[in-house]
């Protein structure tokens, strides 16, 4: 999957889709945060995430800026990420190149 480079670096981890604030308390440390978009209320999740993938946004979006501040890779505007990725799948996120690669199915 490809998108826009949001925050440089590479990381591998298990996908955890966050669809609403109801999912915040369930977010596991070290997971890859996958969401449609993020806003400032989502910032605490970035402290737990190993990487970020969003379906919208770009290099100046909240998710990209926050990921850069936290030093975690992020790929933005991966249009089909919510339909192609499910919780527990292992992915490799390349925030420098804007690429997400499925490593392992659940």
Q: Which two tokens stand for residue 79?
A: 């249009």
Q: Which two tokens stand for residue 11?
A: 């990381």
- Catalytic site includes residue 62: yes
Return all residues near 25 (Cβ < 8 A) that are at least 6 apart: none
DSSP letters for 11-54: EEEEEEE--SGGGGGGPPTTPEEEES---GGGHHHHTT-SEEEE
> Is 68 strand, coil or helix?
helix
Catalytic, out of 36, 62, 92, 97: 62
- Mind telling me the catalytic residues? 62
């Amino acid at each position: 999957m490809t998108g826009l480079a949001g925050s440089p670096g590479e990381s591998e981890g298990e996908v955890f889709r966050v669809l609403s604030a109801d999912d915040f308390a369930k977010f596991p440390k070290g997971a890859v945060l996958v969401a449609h978009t993020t806003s400032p209320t989502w910032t605490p999740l970035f402290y737990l995430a190993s990487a970020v993938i969003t379906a919208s946004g770009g290099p100046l979006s909240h998710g990209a800026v926050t990921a850069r501040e936290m030093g975690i890779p992020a790929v933005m505007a991966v249009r089909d990420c919510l339909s192609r990725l499910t919780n527990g799948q292992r992915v490799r996120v390349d925030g420098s190149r804007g690429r997400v690669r499925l490593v392992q199915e659940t």
